[in-house]
Amino acid sequence: MKRKKGYTRGYPVGILLGFEDDHAVLWRLFSRVVKRYLTVELGGRRSDKKVLYHFHESVIDALRPVLKEGVRSIVVTAPNRTTYASDFLDHVRKHHRHLIQSKGPNRAIFAELVGSADQHYMVTELVKTKEFRELIAETTLGEVDQIINILESHLYSVDNNSVVLYPLNEIEAMIYDRERRNDLRTEYLMLTTKYLSGSEDKNRIHRLLQISKNRRVKTRIVDAETSAGKRISQYGGMFFLSIPSKRHANNKT
């Protein structure tokens, strides 16, 4: 039997955003590999405030598709003795507060690190460092804990509009049913690495993950040994959460 392609990269972990003098490079971080996503050019001088503003907005636009998938851990880097990373984070705090202040599903977890992420070999060395591993673990933990907190808040609320499912067959029925699609809902599918590795039908799980992604369900696979993974294990190792969300929230990211 041929080995299925597309899963050798592992599961999504986060985003690495590297700023250089005249461009920014976005990298997608997976559990096994790092893949270059795209490059955003500055298109002018950094001293020109309008150029810098539009550059930062272009970076935000480039991040949106990945953020909508549910990957919201972002490590921002720039070479030593530059302010490129902090300039971008200041822009986010000033113009996109919903990304850092919201307690809801649109929030992203940002972290800053000194280093160049311009070329693949640079990124390969960067992600091997203890500082980077600790930083991405911290941001991912914060991201997943946030989603689990949302789950638990709905479990203990009187809101009858939220949907929480645990059995695989019930989750499949919900996600595969096109009739129940509603643009005013935010949906999550969370599972642990232990749940995935211990499944007797991994192809079934991978199909569920792929279709979930296609249908804009925010999917995350979490290391079972982390505190967040242990919290998910308390719910059987996997859960699906669907909650009402306002239309304007969906349009932000």
Residue 103 has pLDDT above 80, yes or no: no
Q: Count of alpha carbons within 13 Å of 58, Cβ hemisphere only?
A: 17
Answer for the pair 89, 24: CB distance below 8 angstroms, yes or no: no
AA letter at 155? L
Tokens of 65: 């598709």
Backbone angles phi and psi of 108, in degrees to 5 = -115, 155
pLDDT band at 141 (very low <50, low <70, confident <90, very high): confident
Average pLDDT for 126-133: 90
Average pLDDT for 165-169: 94
Of the two residues 245 and 64, the one the predictor is more confident about is 64
| Domain range 12-143, its CATH number among 1.10.3720.10, 3.40.50.970, 3.40.50.920, 3.30.420.60 | 3.30.420.60
Backbone angles phi and psi of 20, in degrees to 5 = -125, -175
- Name the strand (E) or helix (H) holding 42: none
Answer for the pair 212, 175: CB distance below 8 angstroms, yes or no: yes
Q: How far is CA 78 from CA 21, 48, 243, in A?
A: 9, 19, 37
- Name the strand (E) or helix (H) holding 215: none
Q: Which CATH class is domain 149-252?
A: alpha beta
Tens digit of pLDDT for each residue in 184-210? 688 899 999 999 999 888 899 999 998
Classify the C-alpha dihedral 6-202-189-98 as positive or negative: negative
Whether the model pTM is above 0.85: no
Biggest CA–CA distance in the chain, Å, is 58
Separation of alpha carbons 89 and 112, rounded Å: 9
| Domain range summary for the chain, segments of one domain joined by + | 12-143, 149-252
Please name the residues in contact with 64: beta carbons below 8 A apart, sequence gap of 6 or more.
Answer: 253
Q: What's the pLDDT score for residue 102?
A: 60
